[in-house]
Amino acid sequence: MKSPATPLAPPRRRPITTATAAVTVVVVAAHVLAWHGTEFSPAALVQGWRGMADFLGQALPPDLSWTEVLLPSFQGALVTLAIGLLGTTLSVPAALVLALLAARTTTRNRWVYQAARSILSFLRAVPDVVFALIFVTAVGLGPFAGVLALIFHNTGVMGKLWAEAMEEIDLGPRDALRVGGASGVQVAAHAVLPAVIPQFVGLLLYRFDVNVRSSLVLGLVGAGGIGFLVNQSIKLFRFDEMVTHLLVVMVLVVAVDQLSAQIRRRLGV
């Protein structure tokens, strides 16, 4: 390649537009307002170091006595796992029906589609903690309220994720079966669902992972499990017990996360 006689001028940089400048100003202003709104103060944190030190002094070393702390902690963790498991599994039927109705691939009627989307949005918009507080008033304190809360919230989230997975598939096999006279349900069973099974299982495992972590928080509002034990320890100022519970929680969360990741990798999703 011969180099040209005069060096080629590189294209000019795009000048900063007023739009870019305006967006920058808005973003900076939003952060300043948020700083004030949350009373964010590194100075207060530094001044309060003594409180932190007291807390750590009481929390460490963790109380690892078997019968009083560690055994109840493991039992609590199992309940938390059970809440996450049932909350995920029992939401499958409703999530599947709503997802089929809320995917354009399987639902041609615009009104049905919009109605299903709205129900899913509502279930997703109400946090599982709020559902838990509602169900605690109905069925009392305990893990059952947590399971009910997860079923409702997870139906909304998983239904949405599944509907989106179905909308992304190749529509060819669906059209091929429609031409052959297959009904909507038959098309869903023989063309749409077989194409999305790996994605569905992957999303289900992902939601199981999330739901186990959510059920910890549900315990804090009285819906049983190890979260309930964490809450109790804090109220009794037994921070050494609390740290033990948190360590067990960490093991549980890492184990579930690893399991779900392993299976999803096998499935290739």
- Contacts with another protein by CB under 8 A lie at 170, 172-173, 175-183, 185-187, 189-191, 194-195, 197
Q: How far is the CB of 207 from another protein (least distance, A)?
A: 22
| 164, two tokens | 């989106």
* Of 71 and 185, CB closest to another protein: 185
**Cα(8)–Cα(22) distance, rounded to whole angstroms?**
34
* Of 173 and 222, CB closest to another protein: 173
**Cα(28)–Cα(18) distance, rounded to whole angstroms?**
15
Helix (H) or strand (E) holding 44: helix 42-47
Nearest alpha carbon to residue 154 among 196, 193, 130, 120:
120
Q: What is the identity of the amino acid at 240?
A: D
How many Cβ atoms are within 10 Å of 158's Cβ, its own excluded?
29
* Of 108 and 235, CB closest to another protein: 108
* Of 189 and 253, CB closest to another protein: 189
CB under 8 Å to 65, separation ≥6 — which residues?
A: none
For 201-265, give the secondary structure using H, E and C.
HHHHHHHHHHHHHHHHHHHHCCCCCHHHHHHHHHHCCCHHHHHHHHHHHHHHHHHHHHHHHHHHH
* Of 54 and 175, CB closest to another protein: 175
* Of 64 and 193, CB closest to another protein: 193
Q: How far is the CB of 109 from another protein (least distance, A)?
A: 13
- Give the three-class secondary structure for 149: helix
Q: Where are the beta strands (DSSP E) in 9-81?
A: none
Q: How far is the CB of 190 from another protein (least distance, A)?
A: 5
What number of CA atoms fall less than 13 Å from residue 19's CA on the CB side? 1
Q: How far is the CB of 181 from another protein (least distance, A)?
A: 2
Give the relative orientation of helices 143-167 and 71-89 as an angle to the nearest 10 degrees. Answer: 40
Q: How far is the CB of 97 from another protein (least distance, A)?
A: 14
* Of 82 and 193, CB closest to another protein: 193
Q: How far is the CB of 201 from another protein (least distance, A)?
A: 13
Q: How far is the CB of 172 from another protein (least distance, A)?
A: 4
Q: How far is the CB of 198 from another protein (least distance, A)?
A: 9
* Of 65 and 183, CB closest to another protein: 183
Nearest alpha carbon to residue 84 among 206, 197, 201:
206
